[in-house]
Structure 1
Amino acid sequence: MWWVCFLLFLTPLVSAQTLRCGACPTIGVQSGFDLYRYLGRWFEITKLPASFESGKCIEANYALREDGTIQVLNKQMWERGRSIEGTAVVTDPKEPAKLGVSFSFLSPVGTYWVLYTDYTSIAVVYSCTDILRVSHVDYAWILARSRFPSEETMRNATEILEKAGVKPCELIPTDQTGCLDDTM
């Protein structure tokens, strides 16, 4: 019975996320993933709802640090510009497409799994947070190297997410219009 109270407590915290029953699913990631080719600037094109992303012109920049970790710099236009810096690490060298990301030494490390990327135009990313193996919160993103990828590229990326169990109708587009790179 305690877990019901716990879940009721968590519900407001995940209300803007995609809460599902059961533990996180097992999802395959890109084999032969090359982290060095993945580094650089990516624009968020669409995503599952996430309360921490409510702005427009959302982008992420990944850069290798001297200590081997990856600097994650997320930016979004929200009133005036807003950014947050985090750290990503490869959690298992045998599966380099599975990264752990944290934006504060107080926050737990979240999953960041690259399901697919061609490195030059599109990336499909999935994350899942398990809640006592009773439920889980899904996050998913389609990222692109340009703010406006082709329809065919988006169709292919959406199909990859659908195969991973993400319903395309749940994805919300990120507004990439009117973005001024020097305001963030």
Structure 2
Amino acid sequence: MHLKQLCLLFTVLGVVASTPRFVSPSVRTYCPNVTVATNFTMNDLVGTWYEVSRTPNQWELGKCTRVHHILSENGTEISLHWEQLVPNRWELEYSYALSIARHIPGLPSANLLLQFIQQGAYPMPYTILDIVPGSYYVAHTCYAFPYRWYPGGFLYVEMAWVMSRTPYMNPISRELRRLTLEQSGVITSWMKNVDQNNCAAAYRELGNNTFLATNGDRRKTA
């Protein structure tokens, strides 16, 4: 399924793909020194979040993207259950992937390492730049990827996400979140809004085959 292919970002970078349908993450010559969220705790992420903006990539190809964050019993890691609906002819196909986020030792608490649960998937930084637990959060990743045909022998791959507690975010709030990224030196010109229209009904049509149908919104309160 398409979201599971997101894991392949960390094994074979598709930037070299020649197909005209390919959409790559942002590629740059360095990673910015971003400003991270202060007073962040893992519990701030727990619950269901909806993707409202993201850097285009060839793994998240669908609409209605939502991510369910579940804190481990010891509070040291959080599992992210990614769901999306991908157009497949006249139907929407359900796509799902699982990842685990842990704090990076020696760095501020908002610096996480994200590992997709698939053999061969490399971990990537998942940095929380800004968060209001009941409203939104802004996440960013940037890391070096060996690529001998690029000056210096490395590509620096960058992606960003704006997440919301509801499927919709008003344009002013979305622009403020984009400015948060831009002020940290993140490339935002690639970012696109995620289609969240009619998603609740579309997921209901899938019956018990979705994560929320079987687990509910497992938001944990502090």
Q: TM-score band, normalised by the shorter chain? A: 0.7 to 0.9
C-alpha separation between the residues in 1 aligned to 2:134 and 2:121? 31
Counterpart residue number, 1:4: none
Residues 50-85 of structure 1 show CA distances to partners (whole Å, capped at 9, x for unaligned) of: 211000000111111235321110000113211111
Counterpart residue number, 1:19: 27
C-alpha separation between the residues in 2 aligned to 1:105 and 1:30? 31
C-alpha separation between the residues in 2 aligned to 1:18 and 1:154? 19
Counterpart residue number, 2:217: none
C-alpha separation between the residues in 1 aligned to 2:134 and 2:119? 32
| Residues 168 and 17 of structure 1: CA distance in aligned 2, closer, same or farther (over 3 Å) | closer
Counterpart residue number, 1:92: 105
Residues 149-180 of structure 1 show CA distances to partners (whole Å, capped at 9, x for unaligned) of: 12222121111011122344321111101213
Q: Does residue 118 of structure 1 match 2:138? A: no
What is the one-letter code of the residue matched to 1:11? V
C-alpha separation between the residues in 2 aligned to 1:135 and 1:28? 22
Q: Give ranges in structure 2 of 5+ residues lacking alignment.
A: 1-12, 87-91, 147-151, 211-222
| Residues 99 and 75 of structure 1: CA distance in aligned 2, closer, same or farther (over 3 Å) | same
- Shift of residue 94 of structure 1? 4.5
What is the one-letter code of the residue matched to 1:97? A
What is the one-letter code of the residue matched to 1:158? R
Q: Give ranges in structure 1 of 5+ residues lacking alignment.
A: 1-7
Q: TM-score, normalised by structure 2?
A: 0.72
Residues 88-142 of structure 1 show CA distances to partners (whole Å, capped at 9, x for unaligned) of: 1111265111111111242111110000011111111100121246430110011
Q: Structure 2 residue aligned with 1:70, among 59, 74, 78?
A: 78
Residues 2-22 of structure 1 show CA distances to partners (whole Å, capped at 9, x for unaligned) of: xxxxxx99622995211112x
What is the one-letter code of the residue matched to 2:181? L
| Residues 135 and 84 of structure 1: CA distance in aligned 2, closer, same or farther (over 3 Å) | same
| Residues 129 and 15 of structure 1: CA distance in aligned 2, closer, same or farther (over 3 Å) | farther
Match of 1:170, SS state, is: coil
Matches within 5 A, 1:34-45: 34-45=41-52
CA contact (8 A) 1:97 1:114 kept: yes
Q: Does residue 170 of structure 1 match 2:190? A: yes
The alignment-based identity, stated in percent, is: 22
Q: Does residue 145 of structure 1 match 2:169? A: no
C-alpha separation between the residues in 1 aligned to 2:14 and 2:138? 31
| Mean CA deviation greater in 110-119 or 163-172 | 163-172
Counterpart residue number, 2:10: none
| Mean CA deviation greater in 72-81 or 127-136 | 127-136
What is the one-letter code of the residue matched to 2:35? G
Q: Indicate the RMSD between aligned Cα atoms, in angstroms.
A: 2.3
Q: Structure 2 residue aligned with 1:155, among 166, 175, 189?
A: 175
CA contact (8 A) 2:33 2:185 kept: no
